[in-house]
Amino acid sequence: MQWVRKETVVSHVIFTSLKATAWIGWYFDSGCSRHMTGNRANLTSIKEVKTDFVTFGGGEKGKIIGKGALNVEGLPNLEEFLLVEGLTTNLISIGQLCDNGRSIAGRKYVFVCVDNFSRYTWVEFLKEKSETFDVFKALTTQIQREKEVNILVIRSDHRREFENFKFQTFCDEEGIKHEYSSPITPQQNGIVERKNRTLQEMARVMIHANQLPIKFWAEAVNTACHIHNRVTLRSGTHSTSYELWRGRKPIVHYFHIFGSVCYILTDREPRQKFDVRSDEGIFLGYSRNSHALRVYNKRTQMVIQSINVKVVDQDASMVDEEDISPKVNPSITHSQSSEETSDKPDDNDSGIEPAARIQKNHPVEYIIGDLDQGMTTRKKDKVDYRKMAGLL
């Protein structure tokens, strides 16, 4: 074995450099959160972006100077492609390819907030991560005024949408302590991480069980959160999260099956006498600000809120055959010979129980009293309260 001095060893490390001059390769990167390139010629319709950075695996930061659409021969037309200053590698994010489908309202992200005591959960949907602060600020104001108390502590990870100057300034002004989970340690913020996964799994089942398009994912998550707050019991108690937060038991009789066929009254358009009175739609959930249902109108292809909705929770094709088949009397066997059954009434030959019939009018001989006197009620004895008082 030969020992070599450390100073003479040259290490060749392959990594994404920020100061090189070639943009040759294109790579599919599962760890990259967004599509990005450093060559302006690869993009069209570039819009300038200010004060945004991306962080690479080694901790280096690259400045985002623009955002546009990919325009390279032989490659798909991808939107939301970042132009990063000094980046020498062209990266296509697998995660962004999977998440390319937005919600029907154009939302791409979901902001989940959980109360640590009651586990009551709020969800808000964002078009861009930069909207996180405004949503958090509005939610904080709402909660503090509803409970008439101040929020003391919040906890999040180190993502840029949470760890920034606006967040820190607002927390300092409101007296809120902002705690962070350690890097690559999501279990330190396990309550909201577990809740996020629960809502995601519920929404996935709700969508695929009814064979709905993925564009309804935001509606599914919103409905899953609404149900989860009112149904799931807080661990260690016999109360739901809604009851612990609101102080009263939830009402659940209005629940319907997500994705069910529904019929919406066409009361928002002028109608003629013989026009249809309803449109077919899809039930998507419940309104947050009014006593109404959220439904998707198939004719107008819009999500609306209405109270004049008839939801068909169970389709006719889903009913078991046993529920619609005639009931057979089990005491009658069909293996009997014709000689044994020839003397029996015809009603029993089919093996079907006759339906019970109720006579509309009773026979006159069964009526007690005189019909000419009309209906009389039973009289009660008059109570003498003086006599009752004397007995005391």
pLDDT over 50 at 155, yes or no: yes
The larger pLDDT score, comparing residue 108 to residue 359, is at: 108
For residues 50 and 163, state if they share a domain. Answer: no
For residues 92 and 113, state if they share a domain. Answer: no
For residues 164 and 229, state if they share a domain. Answer: yes
* Helix 132-147 and helix 165-174, axial crossing angle in degrees, nearest 10: 10
- Rounded to whole angstroms, the maximal C-alpha distance in the chain is 128
Q: Can you give the pLDDT at residue 59?
A: 65
For residues 76 and 151, state if they share a domain. Answer: no
**Confidence band (pLDDT; 50, 70, 90) for 116?**
very high
Domain-terminating residue out of 98, 125, 149: 98
- Do the domain assignments include residue 347? no
Q: In 10 A of CB 332, how many CB atoms?
A: 15
- Do the domain assignments include residue 165? yes
Domain tally for the chain?
3
Q: Can you give the pLDDT at residue 250?
A: 95
pLDDT over 80 at 211, yes or no: yes
> To the nearest whole number, what is the mean pLDDT of the chain?
79
Residue type, 350: S
**Confidence band (pLDDT; 50, 70, 90) for 382?**
low
- Do the domain assignments include residue 254? no
By residue count, the chain amounts to 392
pLDDT over 60 at 279, yes or no: yes
Q: Can you give the pLDDT at residue 82?
A: 86
For residues 158 and 267, state if they share a domain. Answer: no
Going by C-beta distance under 8 Å and a sequence separation of 6 or more, which residues neighbour residue 140? 151, 174, 176
**Confidence band (pLDDT; 50, 70, 90) for 30?**
low
- Torsion angle, alpha carbons of 31, 32, 37, 42, to 10: 100
Q: Which of 104-108, 283-287, 335-339 has the highest mean pLDDT?
A: 283-287
- Do the domain assignments include residue 305? yes
pTM of the full predicted structure? Answer: 0.60
- Do the domain assignments include residue 11? no
- Do the domain assignments include residue 160? yes
Please state the φ and ψ torsions of residue 256, each to the nearest 5 degrees.
-130, 165
For residues 144 and 210, state if they share a domain. Answer: yes
- Do the domain assignments include residue 131? yes
pLDDT over 90 at 56, yes or no: no
The larger pLDDT score, comparing residue 67 to residue 233, is at: 233
Domain-terminating residue out of 57, 72, 98: 98
For residues 127 and 228, state if they share a domain. Answer: yes
Tell me what the mean pLDDT of segment 4-25 comes to: 48
For residues 84 and 190, state if they share a domain. Answer: no
**Confidence band (pLDDT; 50, 70, 90) for 208?**
very high
The larger pLDDT score, comparing residue 78 to residue 266, is at: 266
For residues 119 and 194, state if they share a domain. Answer: yes
Distance from C-alpha of 56 to C-alpha of 345, rounded to nearest angstrom: 88
Tell me what the mean pLDDT of segment 118-133 comes to: 94
Q: Can you give the pLDDT at residue 55?
A: 73
For residues 237 and 269, state if they share a domain. Answer: no
- Residue 46 structural domain: 26-98
Tell me what the mean pLDDT of segment 135-159 comes to: 95
The larger pLDDT score, comparing residue 130 to residue 88, is at: 130
For residues 84 and 124, state if they share a domain. Answer: no
- Do the domain assignments include residue 163? yes
For residues 303 and 226, state if they share a domain. Answer: no
pLDDT over 50 at 261, yes or no: yes
- Range of weakest confidence among 27-31, 40-44, 180-184, 292-296: 27-31
